[in-house]
Structure 1
Amino acid sequence: MAYKNVKMTKHIKYIESMMKDPVSEEIGYSVYGEKNGKLGELAATPSRVIFGSKSLFSGEAFEDIYYEDIHYIEYNENYKGATIDIYVRNSGRVLKFYSTSKTSLRAMRNALIEITDQIKEDKSNSYENKGGDDSIEKLQQLVKMKEDGYITDTEFNNLKNKLIE
């Protein structure tokens, strides 16, 4: 399968082979680099970000993170390249990826942030649109959203103040 913005490498072919349905979960963007000393690709699909590597010398590696599980994304550049660290909510797990292509990795970071921000907004909107007069239940849902990392302290306080009004 050919994807726009994606060069068909052995790593992308490996990622595709590990996907349950590569037709419905199309890879929209990928960046070549390394994770834990293994060369591979970091790929973005509509539902998750995936690292895949296939090599005769270092074997195979596959790691995926669904967007709703992303807690935080950290990006740093230096004179050699760039790193992106993707922190997984409530697990302590971090996917650390390095690439010499700062421009490509920066574009990947921007896309991931846009997607995760949209998920947070959708969750917040679905909460606001729920009916009912049970303020205690709504407050408990807000607390859970805050604890799970879907909303920040500021967002929590704003939504709580709206609930109290």
Structure 2
Amino acid sequence: MSNGSDRSAGHPANRIAGLAVAALGGALLLWIIPANTDSTGSGWLRPDTIPTICAWAFVLLGLVQCARPRGDLQPVGDDIVIVVAAATASVIALWAMGRVGFLPVAPVFAGVLVALFRERRPACIAGAVLGAPAVTYLVVRVLLDRPLP
């Protein structure tokens, strides 16, 4: 007899989502990273090192999600709208970065995401809008000496 709190079974959509994330990690490792990174080894860190680590994390965490799903996945209409709006904002931000560059677009894009996700804590807003683009710029441009759009 179940009281509705049994979370061990998980929802099949959680397993599918885990497989999709693992497949994305595999695609990154097999095709996307090799096709989009330089093979030059200037500096102390090769250009594909961090993307490869992230791709392996996608594979591992996706498989964990597939093997051990938790909870129930039942998105409501508002959640779907937020996901579609975030995906649309991402495409627009990528296009805008190609036109005007990373520094002007990244804080605006982060602000749009913060608003979409209804974040209200000032420290989190400042961290997302100012901190994340600044850290990204410092790591990529200064430490790795790689170009940003």
Q: Shared fold by TM > 0.5?
A: no
Q: More helix per residue: 1 or 2?
A: 2
Q: Looking at both structures, which has the greater relative contact order when contacts are Cα pairs under 8 Å and sequence separation is at least 6?
A: 2
Normalising by the residue count of structure 1, what TM-score does the alignment of the two structures yield? 0.28
Normalising by the residue count of structure 2, what TM-score does the alignment of the two structures yield? 0.30
